[in-house]
C-alpha cells in the first residue's frame, strides 16, 4: 500500500439543481433544523421523539457506554399503536394506508381502520399461539398486506420479528431460525413472481426440521396445494379471521427489541442486526418526514423495496405508517407482465414520491427511454435512491425520464445497521448534485477519515465513519457482543466504521465510493470502483458497469470492466464484432479522458448481465475471480445463478480490448 491518500479523488461534478421554489416554500424541514441540531443534538432528538405517542416519558435521552447505546431511557411506548391506533383515534381511520397491487393485477385497499382491525386480530391470534414479550417470531412472506400486519402484530406484543426475504433458500432460513431461537413462523403457500406462483411453504418445511419452531401460520395467497403437518401448521384465515377485532396494547420499554434483521455478508455467517423500539421509530419517522417531505393528507408514497430488507422495514412499515402515510405496495417484479409495470402503477395511483434503488434505475436505462416515456408520470414530485452509489448519469436519467426535470432526487445513504437514513439532501434545502449523498442529516455526525482516523479535508478521500451515537443505531449483533465490537468499533477508536469509502468534494459534500473491500490498487494508487464505473456509465451507450482490480504483473492490479450496453447499442455490438471491438476501445479512451489515464481499464468485457445479490448489489468478488481466471467462489448469495455462466461464455468468446 502506498502512503498516499486512503482513496484517490478522481472525478468532478459541476452540475447542481436547486430545490423547486414551491417545494422549498412548503417543505416540512428547513435549514433551521441543522442549526437546532447543532445547538443541542440530544434536545433535537428529544423533539423528534415527541412526534411519537409515549405512554411514559423518558428520564434521559441517551445513555452511552461505548459501543452500547440506550435512547430515551425509561420511556415506554408501543410501536404498533404509533403506526396504527393513533391515526384511527385522530379520525383518520378512513384514510388508505396501503394501495396493494398483486403481480397478477388483483388489488386490495387497506385503510387505517382496516389495518387496525387486522393487526388486533393477528395479535390475538399470536397470543393464542403463546407468543409474548421477548419471543422471536420468523416472518417469511411475499409482498402482501399480511406481511405488514404480521410485523405490526409482533411489535404490538413486544415480540421481536425476524423477517427473511422470500427469495432466500431453506438453508438461509434455517440458519436464521437457529440463531434467533424462534418458535413461531409466519409464511404463505407462496407468492407471485415473474408471472408464476412461486411456493414458499416447502422451503419452510425443510428449514424448520430439527429447530424449535412448533407453530407455522400459513397465509393463503396462491391457492396452490401445500404440504401440511397437522397440529403444527395452521391456516391464517382459520386462526386469525375469527379473532376479536380489538386488542389492548401494552406499552414497552424504549429499548425493548423490535426486530432482528440479518445482513448477509458475502462469505461470513450472517449477522443478526438488533434494533429496539423508541430510538428506531423516532429516526425512521423523522427521516421519512424530513427526507421525503411527506404530507400525509395528499402524498402517495411508494418504496419499491421488499419488506425483507431494512428499506422495507423502515420505509414501508415503520416510517410511513408512524407518519400516517398512504402508500403503494406491489407484490411482483418490474417486468411482469411488461417492462412498464412500475410506471403503469405510478400513473394508476398518482404516486407523488418514489423510492427505489440504482440497480432498478440502471435496468430501466437498459430497457430504453421509450418505456417510461409512454406513461403519465406527472404526479411525481420527489424521487429517492438507496442501496448503492448512484452513478451521476443514472441520476440524470432518473431526473429526466422519471422526474421530468422537476422532481428533486434524494440520494440516501444508510445501512441495515444504521436503521434509518443518515446522509441525504433535504429536498427543500439542499442544492442537489448528481451522484452525491451530500450531507449528514440534522442530528447525525458523519465524517471521512484517513488510515489513522484523522478527518480528511475537503477534496480528500478515505473511510466513512459515524462519530456520535444515533437513535436508530443497531444495539448489537444478536447474541454476539464481541462480534459487534470487532466488526464495527475496532478499526477506529470510539467511531463506528461503516465499511464504505467516501470522499468530500470542495464544498464538503459527501460522495460514497463503495465498500473499501472493493477498492483497487493500481500502481500504488487506491482507486474506488465507483468512480470508474460512473465514468463508464457516463458514456451514452452504457447502461451499467462493474469494475474490479485483477492482479497484474506490472501494475500490481489492473482494472477490468464488465459493461452492459443500452438497448440499441447492445444489438449493434452483438451483430457486428468489429463495431463491438471499436466500442471497447472507445470506452477505454472515454474513462481515460473522464478521470485520467491511471483509471483506463486494461480490459472491457461487454456482458448481458452482472452478478448481483438478492438485494441488487453487484458482487464484484465473483467478477474478480473471472478476471483472474480462478474457480468461482461461493455463489450461494447470487440472485440468479445462471448469470455467471452467461458472463463466462461471453468472456471466453469475445475480445476485451487488451493492449
Ligand atoms: C450498504 C448498506 C440502506 C438500505 C439498503 C442497503 C451501500 C446504501 C447507499 C447510497 C452509496 C449506499 C453502502 C452501505 N449503500 N445506500 N445512497 N450511496 N452506497 O442496506 O444492505 O445494509 O447495505 O449499501 O455500501 O454500507 P444494506
CATH number at 90 reads 3.40.50.12780
In angstroms, the CA 34 to CA 233 distance is 52
Task: Say whether both 498 and 579 belong to one domain.
Answer: no
Q: Give the residue from 454, 77, 107 showing the smallest Cα distance to 276.
A: 77
- Tell me whether residue 355 is in a domain: yes
Residue 492 φ then ψ, to 5°:
-130, 140
In angstroms, the CA 557 to CA 525 distance is 10
Asked if residue 59 has pLDDT above 80, the reply is yes
- Percent pLDDT > 90 in the chain is 85
- Which of 455, 475, 503 delimits the end of a domain? 503
pLDDT tens-digit map of 296-305: 999 999 999 9
Least confident interval from 72-86, 264-278, 391-405? 264-278
Task: Say whether both 482 and 559 belong to one domain.
Answer: no
Mean pLDDT of 385-403: 96
- Tell me whether residue 511 is in a domain: no
Q: Are 265 and 636 in contact (CB under 8 A)?
A: no
Query: Which pLDDT does position 655 carry in this prediction?
Result: 63
Average pLDDT along the chain: 94
Task: Say whether both 415 and 312 belong to one domain.
Answer: yes
Output the CA 387–ligand 1 centroid distance in Å: 4
- Tell me whether residue 162 is in a domain: yes
Output the CA 29–ligand 1 centroid distance in Å: 24
In angstroms, the CA 413 to CA 421 distance is 6
Q: Are 284 and 376 in contact (CB under 8 A)?
A: no
What grid cell was written down for 486? 470487532
Query: Which pLDDT does position 629 carry in this prediction?
Result: 82
Mean pLDDT of 13-33: 96
Please identify, by atom number, the ligand 1 atom nearest to the C-alpha of residue 413.
17
- Tell me whether residue 5 is in a domain: no
Q: In the beta sheet, which residues pair with residue 161?
A: 137, 259
When pLDDT is cut at 50, 70 and 90, the band that residue 658 belongs to is: low
Q: Are 224 and 197 in contact (CB under 8 A)?
A: yes
- Tell me whether residue 285 is in a domain: yes
Task: Say whether both 461 and 375 belong to one domain.
Answer: yes
Q: What is the CATH number of the domain that holds 621?
A: 3.30.300.30
When pLDDT is cut at 50, 70 and 90, the band that residue 1 belongs to is: very low
Output the CA 417–ligand 1 centroid distance in Å: 10
Please identify, by atom number, the ligand 1 atom nearest to the C-alpha of residue 424.
17
User: Whole-model pTM?
Assistant: 0.94
339-372: b (≥16 Cβ within 10 Å) or e: bbbbbebbbebebbbbbbbbbbbbbbbbbeeebb
Query: Which pLDDT does position 460 carry in this prediction?
Result: 94
In angstroms, the CA 113 to CA 178 distance is 36
Mean pLDDT of 590-600: 92
- Which of 503, 537, 557 delimits the end of a domain? 503
Mean pLDDT of 291-310: 98
- Is the Cα torsion angle 637, 258, 113, 288 positive or negative in sign? negative
Probe target for ligand 1 pocket from 288, 307, 386, with the most ligand atoms within 8 Å of CB: 386
Output the CA 413–ligand 1 centroid distance in Å: 6
Expressed as residue numbers, the domain containing 576 is 519-653
Task: Say whether both 560 and 485 belong to one domain.
Answer: no
Task: Say whether both 211 and 176 belong to one domain.
Answer: yes
Mean pLDDT of 552-568: 91
Q: In the beta sheet, which residues pair with residue 496?
A: 466
**Apex CA 234: angle with CA 231 and CA 238, to 5°?**
125
In angstroms, the CA 80 to CA 93 distance is 15
Which residue's C-alpha comes closest to atom 1 of ligand 1? Answer: 415
- Tell me whether residue 14 is in a domain: no
- Tell me whether residue 401 is in a domain: yes
What grid cell was written down for 275? 434494533
pLDDT tens-digit map of 498-550: 999 999 999 999 999 999 989 999 988 899 999 999 999 999 999 999 999 99
Pocket of ligand 1, beta carbon within 6 A:
263, 309-311, 386-389, 411-416, 437, 498-500, 512, 515, 615
Which residue's C-alpha comes closest to atom 8 of ligand 1? Answer: 387
Q: In the beta sheet, which residues pair with residue 17?
A: 432
Mean pLDDT of 268-282: 94
Output the CA 202–ligand 1 centroid distance in Å: 32
Please identify, by atom number, the ligand 1 atom nearest to the C-alpha of residue 530.
11
Mean pLDDT of 56-63: 98
Cell numbers 442486526 label which residue? 273
Q: Give the residue from 529, 485, 487 showing the smallest Cα distance to 511.
A: 529
Give the number of domains in the chain: 2
pLDDT tens-digit map of 175-228: 999 999 999 999 999 999 999 999 999 999 999 999 999 999 999 999 999 999
Distance of CA 133 to the CA centre of its chain: 28
Which residue's C-alpha comes closest to atom 20 of ligand 1? Answer: 415
Please identify, by atom number, the ligand 1 atom nearest to the C-alpha of residue 437.
17
Please identify, by atom number, the ligand 1 atom nearest to the C-alpha of residue 412.
17
Task: Say whether both 523 and 464 belong to one domain.
Answer: no
Asked if residue 3 has pLDDT above 60, the reply is no
pLDDT tens-digit map of 313-369: 999 999 999 999 999 999 999 999 999 999 999 999 999 999 999 999 999 999 999
Probe target for ligand 1 pocket from 163, 280, 510, 512, with the most ligand atoms within 8 Å of CB: 512
In angstroms, the CA 443 to CA 71 distance is 14
> Which residues make Cβ contacts (< 8 Å) with residue 157, sequence separation at least 6?
123, 126, 127, 131, 132, 133, 135
**Could you write out the three-class secondary structure of 242-256?**
CCCCCCCCCCEECCC
Q: Are 412 and 432 in contact (CB under 8 A)?
A: no
- Tell me whether residue 484 is in a domain: yes
Task: Say whether both 217 and 355 belong to one domain.
Answer: yes
Query: Which pLDDT does position 237 carry in this prediction?
Result: 98
DSSP class per residue in 346-381:
HHHHT--EEEE-HHHHHHHHHH-THHHHTS--TT--
pLDDT tens-digit map of 312-327: 999 999 999 999 999 9
Asked if residue 656 has pLDDT above 90, the reply is no
Task: Say whether both 426 and 361 belong to one domain.
Answer: yes
Query: Which pLDDT does position 264 carry in this prediction?
Result: 72
Please identify, by atom number, the ligand 1 atom nearest to the C-alpha of residue 305.
5
First to last CA, the chain: 26
Task: Say whether both 382 and 448 belong to one domain.
Answer: yes
Q: Are 392 and 411 in contact (CB under 8 A)?
A: no
Output the CA 414–ligand 1 centroid distance in Å: 5
Task: Say whether both 136 and 245 belong to one domain.
Answer: yes
Mean pLDDT of 556-572: 89
- Which of 474, 503, 532 delimits the end of a domain? 503
Query: Which pLDDT does position 71 carry in this prediction?
Result: 99
Asked if residue 2 has pLDDT above 50, the reply is no
Asked if residue 459 has pLDDT above 90, the reply is yes
Output the CA 163–ligand 1 centroid distance in Å: 19
In angstroms, the CA 485 to CA 66 distance is 9
Cell numbers 425483507 label which residue? 308
Query: Which pLDDT does position 252 carry in this prediction?
Result: 98
Task: Say whether both 198 and 328 belong to one domain.
Answer: yes
Asked if residue 14 has pLDDT above 90, the reply is no
Amino acid at each position: 500500500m502506498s502512503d498516499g491518500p486512503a482513496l484517490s479523488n478522481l472525478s468532478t461534478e459541476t452540475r447542481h439543481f436547486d430545490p423547486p421554489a414551491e417545494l422549498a416554500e412548503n417543505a416540512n424541514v428547513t435549514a433551521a433544523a441543522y442549526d437546532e441540531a447543532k445547538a443541542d443534538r440530544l434536545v433535537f432528538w428529544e423533539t423528534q421523539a415527541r412526534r411519537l405517542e409515549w405512554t411514559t416519558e423518558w428520564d434521559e435521552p441517551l445513555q452511552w457506554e461505548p459501543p452500547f447505546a440506550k435512547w430515551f431511557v425509561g420511556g415506554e411506548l408501543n410501536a404498533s399503536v404509533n403506526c396504527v391506533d393513533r391515526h384511527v383515534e385522530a379520525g383518520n381511520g378512513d384514510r388508505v394506508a396501503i394501495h396493494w397491487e398483486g403481480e397478477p393485477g388483483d388489488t386490495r385497499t387497506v385503510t387505517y381502520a382496516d389495518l387496525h382491525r387486522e393487526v388486533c386480530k393477528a395479535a390475538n391470534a399470536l397470543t393464542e399461539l403463546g407468543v409474548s414479550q421477548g419471543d422471536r417470531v420468523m416472518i417469511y412472506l411475499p409482498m402482501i398486506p399480511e406481511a405488514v400486519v404480521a410485523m405490526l402484530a409482533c411489535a404490538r406484543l413486544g415480540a421481536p420479528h425476524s423477517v427473511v426475504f422470500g427469495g432466500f433458500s431453506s438453508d438461509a432460513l434455517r440458519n436464521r431460525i437457529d440463531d434467533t431461537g424462534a418458535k413461531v413462523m409466519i409464511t404463505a403457500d407462496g407468492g407471485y413472481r415473474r408471472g408464476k406462483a412461486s411456493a414458499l411453504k416447502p422451503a419452510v418445511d425443510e428449514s424448520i426440521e430439527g429447530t424449535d419452531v412448533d407453530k407455522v401460520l400459513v397465509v393463503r395467497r396462491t391457492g396452490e396445494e401445500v404440504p401440511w403437518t397437522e397440529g403444527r401448521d395452521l391456516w391464517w384465515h382459520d386462526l386469525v379471521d375469527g379473532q376479536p377485532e380489538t386488542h389492548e396494547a401494552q406499552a414497552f420499554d424504549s429499548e425493548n427489541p423490535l426486530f432482528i434483521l440479518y445482513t448477509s455478508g458475502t462469505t461470513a455467517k450472517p449477522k443478526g442486526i438488533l434494533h429496539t423500539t423508541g430510538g428506531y421509530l423516532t429516526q425512521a419517522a423523522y427521516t421519512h418526514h424530513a427526507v421525503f417531505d411527506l404530507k400525509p393528507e395528499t402524498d402517495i408514497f411508494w418504496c419499491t423495496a421488499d419488506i425483507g430488507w431494512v428499506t422495507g422495514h423502515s420505509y414501508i412499515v415503520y416510517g410511513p405508517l408512524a407518519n400516517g402515510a398512504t402508500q403503494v405496495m406491489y407484490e411482483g417484479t418490474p417486468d411482469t407482465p411488461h417492462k412498464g409495470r412500475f410506471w403503469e402503477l405510478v400513473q394508476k395511483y398518482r404516486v407523488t414520491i418514489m423510492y427505489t434503488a440504482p440497480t432498478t434505475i440502471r435496468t430501466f436505462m437498459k430497457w430504453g427511454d421509450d418505456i417510461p416515456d409512454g406513461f403519465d408520470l406527472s404526479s411525481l414530485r420527489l424521487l429517492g435512491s438507496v442501496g448503492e452509489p448512484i452513478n451521476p448519469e443514472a441520476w440524470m436519467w432518473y431526473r429526466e425520464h422519471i422526474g421530468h426535470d422537476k422532481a428533486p432526487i434524494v440520494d440516501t445513504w444508510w445501512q441495515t445497521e444504521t436503521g434509518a437514513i443518515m446522509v441525504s439532501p433535504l429536498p427543500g434545502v439542499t442544492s442537489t448534485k448528481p451522484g452525491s449523498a451530500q450531507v449528514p442529516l440534522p442530528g447525525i455526525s458523519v465524517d471521512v477519515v484517513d488510515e489513522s482516523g484523522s478527518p480528511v479535508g475537503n477534496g480528500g478521500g478515505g473511510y466513512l465513519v459515524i462519530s456520535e451515537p444515533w437513535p436508530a443505531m443497531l444495539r448489537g449483533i444478536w447474541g454476539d457482543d464481541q462480534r459487534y465490537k470487532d466488526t464495527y468499533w475496532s478499526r477506529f477508536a470510539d467511531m463506528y466504521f461503516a465499511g464504505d469509502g467516501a470522499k468530500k468534494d470542495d464544498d464538503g459534500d459527501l460522495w460514497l465510493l463503495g465498500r473499501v473491500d472493493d477498492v483497487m490498487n493500481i500502481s500504488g494508487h487506491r482507486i474506488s470502483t465507483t468512480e470508474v464505473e460512473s465514468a463508464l456509465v457516463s458514456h451514452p451507450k452504457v447502461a451499467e458497469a462493474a469494475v474490479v482490480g485483477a492482479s497484474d504483473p506490472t501494475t500490481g492490479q489492473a482494472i477490468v470492466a464488465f459493461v452492459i450496453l443500452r438497448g440499441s447499442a447492445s444489438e449493434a455490438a452483438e451483430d457486428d464484432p468489429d463495431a463491438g471491438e471499436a466500442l471497447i476501445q472507445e470506452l477505454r479512451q472515454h474513462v481515460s479522458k473522464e478521470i485520467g489515464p491511471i483509471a483506463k481499464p486494461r480490459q472491457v468485457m461487454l456482458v448481458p448481465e452482472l452478478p448481483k445479490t438478492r438485494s441488487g448489489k453487484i458482487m464484484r468478488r465473483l467478477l474478480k475471480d473471472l478476471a483472474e481466471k480462478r474457480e468461482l467462489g461461493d455463489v450461494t448469495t447470487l440472485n440468479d445463478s445462471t448469470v455467471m455462466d452467461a458472463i463466462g461464455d461471453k468472456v471466453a468468446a469475445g475480445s476485451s480490448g487488451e493492449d
